[in-house]
Structure 1
Amino acid sequence: MTTTRPLRADALRNRDRLLAAAEEAFATEGPEASLNEIAKRAGVGPGTLYRHFPTRQALQTAVLKDRIERLCARAEALSGSRAPAEALAEWARVFLVHARTSQGMGGALFLEELEETAGLGVDCHAMIEEAAAAVLGRAQRAGAARSDLSPADFLQLVTGIALTTARDADTGQAERLLGLVLDAVQG
């Protein structure tokens, strides 16, 4: 039986720097960003990158999983610190940014017809829907959101905005559309 030992502190720092550099590179250059350039941005050699992430797919998967975990944690934090309507609106904005910036990478992963949930080891769609359900449900219980709106509906509306405005460098149109959706949600 093999056991996985926890990473040493320096290896963990290198992994975190690689993830940050990869997230930035994928956001600016797309899913085909140079892995050697990512290693260089992280201040490590290519060998270190490949020890942590043996393939481009493994690196993309790790970046996407990290983004989704942060997105879900943000929903929880907002639910605990903001009024229900404010938490819902703020999380919708955070989700919109996520959907707009993750679109190309997520598409690249899913085009590969990967195993369940792109090899992430978790069901990311379910995680996001659960986060949306928590924020939306709280707003619905407070009377700050329509009771007939499902978490899946809400996510589809925001994702639709992300898809239709993805090529717009100016986020003004996306924000305006999200404002209209939020007005309808509070209907």
Structure 2
Amino acid sequence: MPSAADSPAPDQGLPQRPRRADAQRNYERLLATAREVFRERGADAPLDDIARRAGIGNATMYRHFPTRRELIIAVYADEVTALCSQGETLLKNESPAAALFDWLRAFIAHVAAKRELALAIPNDQGGQRSALFDHWHKAMHTTASTLLTHAQSRGTVDADLDVSDLLTLANGIAVASSDSDQADRCLQLLRRAIAP
């Protein structure tokens, strides 16, 4: 399954040196803190506040993430990677239908909570934003397709269901629902509708 971690980086094409252990810890701390701050205050939160909350100097932050754009890309890519990894784990641990709908619930929560973050990535002349979005969409599509095919092979969901249609319905639930309770009710209606 493609990983969002493999997504084109802002400096794509350049070889990446492995980070020292302390640099890796700083990178991960900044990423985790940025995720929290963006969730609380939006993607336009001051970068200095992120560095301060992480307990890391501004210079260190800008070495890892020279621009807001690169930080937002890193945070969003990390979220997509986690979502796709969850799909891989669910394949191993759940019944096929439960795995599919547990992942769709996570997908709906992701779209509802992270849509603004993804849209905050500035467009660029070279088309990198489009390439990133395409890569992330393909990763999520592949995850959903694997879970759907597995459920279909066990006869637990409609064999004629197309993964693109399923993701369109789930995306509609995420965007149109007023809260997580309504999203859950809509997901249950979808589950009943696609039962074989």
Q: Quick one: which amino acid aligns to residue 40 of structure 1?
A: R
Is 1:26 matched with 2:35? no
- 2:5 is aligned to none
Runs of 4+ in 1 over 6 A off after TM superposition: none
Q: 1:49 aligns with which of 55, 61, 64?
A: 61
Give ranges in structure 1 of 5+ residues lacking alignment: none
- 1:38 is aligned to 50
Q: Quick one: which amino acid aligns to residue 184 of structure 2?
A: E
- Cα distance in 1 between the residues matched to 2:140 and 2:129: 12
Q: 1:128 aligns with which of 126, 140, 152?
A: 140
Structure 1 residues 129 and 121: alpha-carbon distance in aligned structure 2, compared to 1, 3 A threshold: closer
Structure 1 residues 13 and 26: alpha-carbon distance in aligned structure 2, compared to 1, 3 A threshold: same
- 1:67 is aligned to 79
Verify the 8 A CA contact 1:19 1:62 in the aligned structure 2.
yes
- Cα distance in 2 between the residues matched to 1:38 and 1:182: 40
- Cα distance in 2 between the residues matched to 1:122 and 1:13: 29
TM-score calculated relative to the size of structure 2: 0.86
Q: 1:88 aligns with which of 100, 103, 118?
A: 100
- Cα distance in 2 between the residues matched to 1:184 and 1:71: 24
TM-score calculated relative to the size of structure 1: 0.90
Q: CA deviation at 1:154?
A: 1.1
Q: CA deviation at 1:44?
A: 0.6
Greater CA deviation, 81-90 or 21-30? 21-30
Q: 1:104 aligns with which of 90, 107, 116?
A: 116
Structure 1 residues 30 and 119: alpha-carbon distance in aligned structure 2, compared to 1, 3 A threshold: farther
- Partner SS state of residue 186, structure 1: coil
Give ranges in structure 2 of 5+ residues lacking alignment: 1-13
Q: 2:193 aligns with which of 164, 168, 184?
A: 184
Task: Give per-residue Cα distances to partners, 1:89-146, cap 9 Å, x unaligned.
Answer: 111111111111111011122x525724556497111111000000011011111111
Verify the 8 A CA contact 2:157 2:195 in the aligned structure 1.
yes
Aligned runs of 1:150-165 on 2, under 5 Å? 150-165=162-177
- Partner SS state of residue 120, structure 2: helix
Paired residues, number = 182
Structure 1 residues 5 and 122: alpha-carbon distance in aligned structure 2, compared to 1, 3 A threshold: farther
Q: CA deviation at 1:3?
A: 4.8
- Cα distance in 1 between the residues matched to 2:175 and 2:101: 19
Verify the 8 A CA contact 1:61 1:118 in the aligned structure 2.
no
- Cα distance in 2 between the residues matched to 1:80 and 1:159: 25
The higher-RCO structure (CA 8 Å, 6+ apart) is: 2
**Cα-Cα RMSD:** 1.9
- What percentage of residue pairs aligned between the two structures are identical? 39
Is 1:171 matched with 2:180? yes
Verify the 8 A CA contact 1:117 1:123 in the aligned structure 2.
no
